[in-house]
C-alpha cells in the first residue's frame, strides 16, 4: 500500500501539533537550544530576504538576545542555566522575523506585545508543513550529542544499535471507518493536550483527499 502524500509525515498535517511536541522535551541547555532552533530553521526551507538573516542562532547569539531583552532570562546561571519552551519560541520568532526583513530594534517592541499563544501560532505558521516531529530531529545528524533531557529523550525514543527493539505500549487512535493509528505512548505528540483528536482529524482529511482524487489509469 502506498500512503497518500502527507501521511508519511504527520508533522505536515498540523505544524502547531508538531511544534507543541517539543514542549515535552524542555528544559534545554544553551547548547541544545541553539542546536534545536538551528535544526528547525533549516528544516523550514525558508529563503531569507537578506544574507545576514541566514546565520543560524548560536550560543553567543542567544546570549546577545537575552542581554538585549529580546529573549527572557534563563532559569539558573552559568553552566546550570536552562531554557524552556517559551525561550525556543522567542528565538525562533526572532530569526523568522529577521528572515522577513525585520530589525532587532523593531522586534524589541513587537515581541513585547506578542502573547505566548500568538507567538506559538506565528512560529508554527511560518515554519509550515516542513516542521519535523522531535524524533526526526533527534535521529538526524548533529554537531554534538544532545545532553540532559534531550539526550534522555533520544535514548528513550530511538532503538539501540545491535539490540532488539524494546517492548512498548501503543495507544490506539481511531481515525475513521476501518482506520486506526497506533502510536507509542512515549511519542512526544501524545504529551500535547488534544493531540489525539487533532491527529485523527488530519489523517481522516488526508484519506478523504486521497479517495476523492482521480482514479488510477489501468
In a domain, 1, yes or no: no
- Report the 10 Å Cβ neighbour count for 74: 21
d(CA 191, CA 41): 23
- Report the 10 Å Cβ neighbour count for 145: 10
In a domain, 216, yes or no: no
The residues facing 172 across adjacent strands are 182
The pLDDT score that the predictor gives to residue 201 is: 83
Q: With H, G, I as helix, E, B as strand and everything else as coil, classify residue 86.
A: helix
Assign 9 a pLDDT band (cuts: 50, 70, 90): very low
User: Domain of 204?
Assistant: 170-211
In a domain, 2, yes or no: no
Total domains in the chain come to 2
Residues contacting residue 195 through CB under 8 Å, at least 6 positions apart: 17, 20, 21, 189
Q: Tens digits of per-residue pLDDT, 149-202?
A: 555 554 554 445 555 555 567 778 888 888 888 877 766 666 666 777 877 888
Say if residue 1's pLDDT is above 80. Answer: no
Say if residue 12's pLDDT is above 50. Answer: no
| Whole-structure pTM value | 0.62
- Report the 10 Å Cβ neighbour count for 17: 20
The pLDDT score that the predictor gives to residue 17 is: 86
Q: Tens digits of per-residue pLDDT, 60-105?
A: 999 999 999 999 999 988 888 999 999 999 999 999 888 888 888 8
In a domain, 24, yes or no: yes
The residue among 66 and 217 whose pLDDT is bigger is 66
User: Mean pLDDT across the stretch 8-36?
Assistant: 79
The pLDDT score that the predictor gives to residue 153 is: 52
- Whether residue 152 is found in the same domain as residue 207: no
Using an 8 Å Cβ cutoff, are 38 and 91 in contact? no
The pLDDT score that the predictor gives to residue 113 is: 72
DSSP state at residue 78: G
- Whether residue 58 is found in the same domain as residue 140: yes
The pLDDT score that the predictor gives to residue 52 is: 63
Say if residue 110's pLDDT is above 50. Answer: yes
Cα angle, residue 133 at apex, residues 130 and 138 outer, rounded to 5°: 115
Residues contacting residue 118 through CB under 8 Å, at least 6 positions apart: none
Say if residue 143's pLDDT is above 50. Answer: no
- Whether residue 90 is found in the same domain as residue 180: no
Amino acid at each position: 500500500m502506498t500512503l497518500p502524500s502527507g501521511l508519511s509525515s504527520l508533522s505536515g498535517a498540523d505544524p502547531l501539533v508538531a511544534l507543541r511536541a517539543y514542549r515535552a522535551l524542555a528544559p534545554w541547555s544553551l547548547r541544545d537550544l541553539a542546536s534545536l532552533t538551528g535544526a528547525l530553521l533549516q528544516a523550514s526551507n525558508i529563503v531569507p530576504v537578506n544574507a545576514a538573516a541566514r546565520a543560524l542562532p548560536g550560543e553567543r547569539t542567544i546570549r546577545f538576545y537575552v542581554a538585549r531583552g529580546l529573549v527572557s532570562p534563563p532559569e539558573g546561571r552559568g553552566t546550570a542555566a536552562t531554557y524552556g519552551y517559551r525561550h525556543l519560541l522567542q528565538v525562533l520568532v526572532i530569526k523568522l522575523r529577521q528572515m522577513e526583513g525585520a530589525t532587532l530594534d523593531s522586534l524589541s517592541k513587537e515581541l513585547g506585545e506578542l502573547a505566548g499563544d500568538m507567538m506559538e501560532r506565528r512560529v508554527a505558521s511560518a515554519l509550515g508543513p516542513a516542521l519535523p516531529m522531535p524524533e526526526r530531529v533527534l535521529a538526524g545528524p548533529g554537531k554534538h550529542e544532545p545532553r540532559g533531557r534531550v539526550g534522555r529523550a533520544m535514548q528513550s525514543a530511538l532503538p539501540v544499535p545491535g539490540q532488539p527493539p524494546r517492548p512498548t505500549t501503543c495507544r490506539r487512535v481511531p481515525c475513521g471507518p476501518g482506520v486506526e493509528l497506533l502510536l507509542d505512548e512515549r511519542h512526544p505528540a501524545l504529551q500535547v493536550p488534544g493531540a489525539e483528536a487533532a491527529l485523527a482529524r488530519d489523517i481522516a482529511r488526508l484519506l478523504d483527499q486521497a479517495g476523492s482524487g482521480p482514479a488510477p489509469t489501468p
